[in-house]
Amino acid sequence: KVIWTLLVTILGYASSLPVGDDSICTAEELAKYSIVFTGKWSQTAFPKQYPLYRPPAQWSSMLGVTHSSDYSMWKKNEYASNGVRDFAEKGEAWVLMKEIEEAGEKIQSVHGIFSAPAISSGTGQTSTELEVHSRHPLVSFVVRIVPSPDWFVGIDSLNLCEGDHWMEEVSVDLFPYDAGTDSGFTFSSPNFATIPQDTVTEITCSSPSHPANSFYYPRLKILPPIAQVTMVKLKKNQLGLPAPYLDLAAKSNEVIDSVSETPLDCEVSQWSSWGLCRGLCRKTGTKIRTRFVLLQPANNGMPCPNLDEETGCEPENCV
């Protein structure tokens, strides 16, 4: 009877643990981290269609959660929830917050929610603190790219626990994702719902493979990071202090120098039809066709070709 009771107790405890790698975390029960989000969305690194006004390039507030593997805020190649859709398209967090709260109440997979203020430019920083638990060592968050159809950056289920200890510091480069709920190609595309909804996909320099795509840079192998996040474990005597805030203005030269210029080639329209043949009768005349610049080159990209072309012709309707 004693053995049976002990077995039931052990099985009951095991069933309450989250499933996945986080179940083997044997570090101290709680740990606090500062989290600093750095936007690297500059016109130098991303010159194509860079939003300068209405609105200019900027970042939404950060919304994140610490959790076990039983919960997922978002995941690449899976469908975004209604909450993630609202956040990625409009920056509205209410539905996503409700989803997080419901997951925490039903399966106790959420330990805490954290948020950080928006950034009013493409380059800048925002920060806050978060707390992880030995049974909830995973971190996920989203930050909306503004303006955009449904694009965001974020982290999906980063484990801060390494066996019997918490990571002291971790830094992750961030790249753009498409939530799969809006079909726009450019930063300023009008709202055009994707029906049926697509999965969350990473946006690269060649995907979507369409010249209109704001992140389409066929000369690059990979996009430069559009943002970066750094998490630093706080010592016990640091708890309750404001999260460290790196002065981006003071380090502006360092930030700019660390980002290579992305070349942007000139883009021109198709040729127009040939104009009328001009010249004297019974002599060779000339006709002209033209094209215009769709996108000016930047950062030593390919210069624009000739915008007009001339060829010989025989004048018509001569008497």
> Is it the case that residue 236 has pLDDT exceeding 90?
no
- Give 18's pLDDT tier (boundaries 50, 70, 90): very low
Residue 190: per-residue pLDDT? 86
Cβ atoms 264, 301 nearer than 8 A: yes
User: How many angstroms separate the CA atoms of 241 and 34, rounded?
Assistant: 10
pTM for this model (two decimals): 0.77
> Is it the case that residue 110 has pLDDT exceeding 70?
yes
Mean pLDDT of the chain: 85
Angle of helix 94-107 relative to helix 82-90, nearest 10 degrees, comes to 150
Residue 11: per-residue pLDDT? 38
Check residues 314 and 3 and name the one with the higher pLDDT. 314
* Stretch among 119-128, 248-257, 265-274 having the lowest mean pLDDT: 248-257
> Is it the case that residue 12 has pLDDT exceeding 60?
no
Give me the domains of the chain, ranges plus CATH numbers: 31-236 (2.60.40.2130), 265-318 (2.20.100)
Average pLDDT over residues 176-180: 97
Closest by CA position to 148, among listed 55, 262, 48:
55
Average pLDDT over residues 89-115: 91
Residue 21: per-residue pLDDT? 46
User: How many angstroms separate the CA atoms of 100 and 60, rounded?
Assistant: 19
* pLDDT above 70 coverage of the chain, percent: 85
Average pLDDT over residues 48-76: 95
Tokens encoding 129: 């603190």
Residue 258: per-residue pLDDT? 53
pLDDT tens per residue across span 285-311: 899 999 988 877 887 788 888 989 999
Could you tell me which residues are beta bridge partners of residue 267? 295
> Is it the case that residue 189 has pLDDT exceeding 80?
yes
User: How many angstroms separate the CA atoms of 282 and 253, rounded?
Assistant: 66
**For the chain, what's the residue count?**
319
pLDDT tens per residue across span 64-98: 999 999 999 999 999 999 999 999 999 999 999 99
